[in-house]
Structure 1
Amino acid sequence: MDSAKQLTGTLALAVFTAVLSSLQYGYSLGVINAPQKVIEKHYGLALGVWSERAGVLSGNTTEEDEFLDVGQHPAVVMYWSLSVAIFSIGGMLSSFLVGFVGDLRGRIKGMLMVNVLAVAAGLLMGLCRMWKPHIMIISGRAVMGFYCGLTSGLVPMYIGEIAPKAYRGALGTLHQLAIVIGILISQVIGLDFVFGNDDMWPLLLGLSGAPAVLQTFLLPLCPESPRYLYIVQGKEQEARKSLHRLKGTYDATPDLEEMRREKEEADREPSVSILSLIRSSVYRQQLSVALMMHLSQQLSGINAIFYYSTAIFARAGVAQPVFATIGVGVINTLFTLVSVALVDRAGRRTLTLVGLAGMCCCAVAMTVGLKFQNEYSWMSYVSMSGVFLFVSFFEIGPGPIPWFIVAELFSQGPRPAAIALAGCCNWSSNFLIGMTFPYIQTWLDSYVFVLFAVLLLGFTVYIYLRVPETKGKSFEEIAAVFHKDRKKLAQGSKEATELQQLKTSTDA
């Protein structure tokens, strides 16, 4: 076997260390849901709208108000909604800074610097009882969202640049695997008999900063990205040392030669900022593909599934629907492992198409199940099966692949700006779904998944027509695919112009 393709201990350590940020991202996504009622109660106490002794609303309230659940009080609803939404807002804002942070001091030092944010966020939430819990938690969630917006770009960028070509897909998928493991951990330890109770909930939230502490100790042991060292900083010898640390003893000349050509091309191009990337016709096709891949992930309806799953299981007569929801988290994790095993064999394009088409069929099945489950009891099992299969198809392709394929589609020059734009697109669409889904659900009721089925069909057709396969290709070869398409397009446009000119002269 070619030694350049071997997975060394140093490479394994580097990838493991990087995806600790992804684990933290997943944990932060899921941790806020389980203890919702407990947190709302403490918000009510802090706001003076709930009396723990009396167990009723207090203050200037009417007799009718005293029978309202504290979670329905307008002030509590507002602060709770903000606690959830502020995470996505923080991610949207910081995603624009991914390229700047990654290029400022390098990928490793960039991840090391932003860990300060994660530790600060964990402390704000873990110590929230020391002051006003609603202010402390909202502040902590905002800072954690800002941190996750940065790392959701830095981690795929770093892994994409250090991974051997043969394993780039599998290692890139580990970002998503760590996210779903983080979500699963938060679901399990968020159970009321573990940490999701009246006494331990601040610790549950505060633990979201724990992976950053471990990562801070491990990052100095990891080599910097060779592509960053050579192409951005021009340090060929340091890039060579980094390659040997990552891949073992082998002839690094072909890898360095590929980087040299990429550096020469990058040096000929002007600096690629986010704005110039948007305006550039050269990268328009790659950018369209990158953004569409991220939109297909967030607008697929996966967040709606997690929102609906507990209610679907409850209607199906599951005694403890919360455990069934944890079962969805386990399925989530298992099928991400399937993607890790298949992505470098079946290919990115194939797995994404299979995943999206499968999700589309599941969305139709769930619509039928939700519509008729009151008339036919067995229809509830159709809905339950639809939930499990929907999640399985999502994690096979549409879940993990958009995160790392952006790093494959772009050369070193525009890569940071492209990852920043794709990350912003991901966070923005996530926020949009989070804010609008309750209204869509009220409007469409059991037909809510018809909307997602239509979107999934559209994404499937787009990816079939426009997305090339990147499996086993170097960054140079992938760029050549788009360059060839642009030449064909330009040639076609030129021929069309010539034909029009000929027609005009003939008519004259």
Structure 2
Amino acid sequence: MAFGDDEERGEGIIQQDIQQPLIQAKRTTTDGGRNQNQNGENGSRRHPWMVYLSTFVAVCGSYEFGACAGYSSPTQSAITAELGLSTAQYALFGSILTVGAMIGAITSGPIADFIGRKGAMRVYSAFCVGGWLAIYFAKGSLALDIGRLAGGYGMGAFSYVVPVYIAEIAPVHLRGALTTLNQVMICAGVSVAFIIGIVLPWRALALTGLIPCVILLLGLFFIPESPRWLAKKGARKEFEAALQKLRGSDADINHEAAEIQNYIEELEQLPKASMFDLFQTRYLRSVTIAVGLMVFQQFGGINGICFYVSNIFEMAGFSPSVGTVIYALLQVVITTMGATLIDKAGRKPLLLVSAVGLVIGCILTAIAFYFKAHELSEKAAPILAITGILVYISAFSVGMGAVPWVVMSEIFPINVKGVAGSLATLVNWFGAWAISYTFNFLMEWSSSGTFIIYAVINAAAIIFVVMVVPETKGRSLEQIQADINA
């Protein structure tokens, strides 16, 4: 429904994922250009504090994303007991978050392009604040669902605007490292919600979700708007002032400012793409790779496990509080490790290692529930369950969590990247909804069977990665696209 505006949204995604290689290519054309760029980088290296502050403020939105996603796991028993919710009602409460996120992800691009990155983050924070307050004051399932839907909208919108804003403000030598903080903070938000949810009542846990929103709203008064968005809007003075503030008062921004202006002029000359263009023969393999990775990422079970991990441990006979704490800490550590490996090990090896680990984790968990259901080994079942879940989340965090988004950003030509990103994001959030909604029903049907299904899907992901997904590490975007379309 918002796909008509995706060419504008694509500008943000393009700048995040493709601008650096294009600019790097331009920098190699003349020695003078390289020298000017080096001077600019040196200046930014001496004055990174505003970039760091701006990134910190922005990733509060990423933390909010994680807090929303992690809320339903430690609160399931308390909410259902206090409000008398059925399995179906709580399944709707858990999964409606992803419905809001789908809407937020689709509409976030046009909104961020219309009112700016800072203005958009204010709007999304307001949705999250309203959502948490609705949950806090809820007396029944309706208020819970409304609050969860509002929080999901803000979460989905943050998933777009935060990495775009960071990529648009960061200098070249910091862009990769700072952008990875988005995923790290999402995991941190999930993990903290898991841990403090063990000791806090569910209403109090909802109030803790307001903290990152407050920090974000206050911080936006002290950080600059995205220079690239200002340049796109033709606000030349504001654009230069914002760039100067980010790079430092004594930094030479002339070369970088000229590159940004030239890039935006080139972008505006490209033909507009529609959703139907993606199904042309020349784009079909790229669409297959991107959508396929998103399908396997979500239908491998991650959101069902993440949303209800505490209940999984309880059903398996393992302490939910101990298991949740270990899960939460491990997730942050492995995600951080994966961010450092992606440019060293390569995309395809990480995906393969990740998918194999997911299969192993699912099989171990399935065996644990099979033992418990048939009373074969009461001592072995909890150990197998915690081992399986920890193997699963470790495997997901190291590869399948972040790598599909990286590959997606690399395989599409610049003129269709925006609309292609919208399609892949929509598929991703639909998968998240489907898995989170059906998880409790599947577990009631057969707990071991649920994880066998996920194991089969993850095994299919191994075949897909081997047969379809190319390695993109260390290659220019033009080389990648030429090989895909050959």
Instruction: Give, in angstroms, the shift of residue 428 of structure 1.
Output: 0.8
Instruction: Give, in angstroms, the shift of residue 100 of structure 1.
Output: 0.8
Structure possessing the higher radius of gyration over alpha carbons: 1
Q: Which residue identity does 2:116 align to in structure 1?
A: G
- Secondary structure of 2:224's counterpart equals coil
Deviations 1:117-175 (A, max 9, x none): 122223322333xxx44332222112111221211121222233334455544333322
Counterpart of 2:123 in structure 1 is 113
Q: Residues 371 and 134 from structure 1, CA distance in 2 versus in 1: closer, same or farther, beyond 3 angstroms?
A: closer
Distance 1:168 1:123 in 2: 35
Per mean C-alpha deviation after superposition, the further-off stretch among 435-444 and 324-333 is: 435-444
Per mean C-alpha deviation after superposition, the further-off stretch among 5-14 and 102-111 is: 5-14
Distance 1:241 1:268 in 2: 26
Q: Is the 8 A contact 1:98 1:420 kept in 2?
A: no
Alignment of 1:60-459 (within 5 A): 71=85, 76-128=86-138, 132-191=139-198, 194-196=199-201, 201-230=202-231, 232-234=232-234, 239=239, 241-248=241-248, 255=256, 259=260, 262-273=263-274, 275-276=275-276, 278-279=278-279, 283-306=283-306, 309-310=309-310, 313-314=313-314, 318=318, 320-372=319-371, 374-376=375-377, 377-378=379-380, 380-403=382-405, 406-407=408-409, 414-442=416-444, 445-459=447-461
Q: Which residue identity does 1:195 align to in structure 2?
A: L
TM-score, reference length from structure 1: 0.75
Query: Is 2:3 aligned against 1:3?
Result: no
Q: Which residue identity does 1:334 align to in structure 2?
A: V
TM-score, reference length from structure 2: 0.78
Instruction: Give, in angstroms, the shift of residue 372 of structure 1.
Output: 4.7
- Secondary structure of 1:34's counterpart equals helix
Question: Which ranges of structure 1 fall in alignment gaps of 5 or more residues?
Answer: 45-70, 489-508
Distance 1:469 1:224 in 2: 35
Match of 1:30 among 35, 56, 70: 70
Q: Residues 419 and 327 from structure 1, CA distance in 2 versus in 1: closer, same or farther, beyond 3 angstroms?
A: same
Q: Which residue identity does 1:123 align to in structure 2?
A: L
Question: Which ranges of structure 2 fall in alignment gaps of 5 or more residues?
Answer: 1-37
Q: Residues 217 and 270 from structure 1, CA distance in 2 versus in 1: closer, same or farther, beyond 3 angstroms?
A: same
Deviations 1:192-226 (A, max 9, x none): xx422xxxx33322332332221011123333334
Instruction: Give, in angstroms, the shift of residue 298 of structure 1.
Output: 1.4
Q: Residues 78 and 458 from structure 1, CA distance in 2 versus in 1: closer, same or farther, beyond 3 angstroms?
A: closer
Identical-pair percentage? 28
Q: Is the 8 A contact 2:100 2:152 kept in 1?
A: yes
Give the total of aligned pairs: 442
Query: Is 2:483 aligned against 1:485?
Result: yes
Instruction: Give, in angstroms, the shift of residue 263 of structure 1.
Output: 3.4
Counterpart of 1:52 in structure 2 is none
Distance 1:97 1:285 in 2: 26
Q: Which residue identity does 2:303 align to in structure 1?
A: N
Per mean C-alpha deviation after superposition, the further-off stretch among 232-241 and 383-392 is: 232-241
Higher helix share: 2
Deviations 1:338-360 (A, max 9, x none): 12333343344443332223222
Counterpart of 2:19 in structure 1 is none
Distance 1:442 1:127 in 2: 30
Alpha-carbon RMSD:
3.4
- Secondary structure of 2:220's counterpart equals helix
Instruction: Give, in angstroms, the shift of residue 429 of structure 1.
Output: 0.4
Counterpart of 1:496 in structure 2 is none
Q: Which residue identity does 1:437 align to in structure 2?
A: F
Instruction: Give, in angstroms, the shift of residue 234 of structure 1.
Output: 4.9
Deviations 1:410-431 (A, max 9, x none): 5776444444333322221011
Q: Which residue identity does 2:119 align to in structure 1?
A: K
Distance 1:464 1:9 in 2: 43
Q: Is the 8 A contact 2:63 2:188 kept in 1?
A: yes
Instruction: Give, in angstroms, the shift of residue 244 of structure 1.
Output: 4.5
Instruction: Give, in angstroms, the shift of residue 256 of structure 1.
Output: 5.3
Distance 1:413 1:154 in 2: 20
Distance 1:316 1:409 in 2: 42
Per chain length, whose mean CA-contact separation is higher, i.e. which structure has more relative contact order (CA < 8 Å, sep 6+)? 2
Q: Residues 458 and 222 from structure 1, CA distance in 2 versus in 1: closer, same or farther, beyond 3 angstroms?
A: farther
Q: Residues 487 and 93 from structure 1, CA distance in 2 versus in 1: closer, same or farther, beyond 3 angstroms?
A: closer
- Secondary structure of 2:159's counterpart equals helix
Instruction: Give, in angstroms, the shift of residue 109 of structure 1.
Output: 2.0
